[in-house]
Amino acid sequence: MKKAVPRRGGPSGPPARNLAPLVAEVRGLIHAARGRAASVVNTLQVMTNFEIGRRIVEHEQKGAKRAAYGAELVKELSARLTDEFGPGFSERNLRGFRLFYLAYRHLPQIWQTPSAELASPEIAQTTGCSGATCW
């Protein structure tokens, strides 16, 4: 449940004006930013999983006994990553990352860069400065 915020007015501040249009605009910006942030996070996760799969495949290809070595490699990698980063790096997931890479490695590009997804016509500058004025 949302907490009611008292409006300013009277002796403690300027009288309240019709803020509905401003609130709607700011609300729209916040929702758009949150949506874009989620999209960028998803894109980065896909890119990371693809790269993990690529690194596993490339590392396996240096081994002499690939079948047995690959199973042990994934098992050991899973244990180490899970110890350091927590769940999400099970043997099953790592095998999935490997298969994901093998399935899509032939494509020249499977994603758009996150920085391009962040581009917004409403946000002209990211430095916080406009000419000599900074905020």
Domain membership flag for residue 74: yes
Mean pLDDT to the nearest integer, 6-34: 80
Question: Of all residues in the chain, what percent carry a pLDDT higher than 70?
Answer: 62
Domain span at residue 98?
A: 29-107
Domain membership flag for residue 123: no
Domain membership flag for residue 22: no
Q: Which residue has the higher pLDDT, 107 or 101?
A: 101
Helix axes 91-104, 66-85, angle to 10 degrees: 120
pTM for the model:
0.61
Domain membership flag for residue 113: no
- Structural domain total, the chain: 1
pLDDT at 107: 85
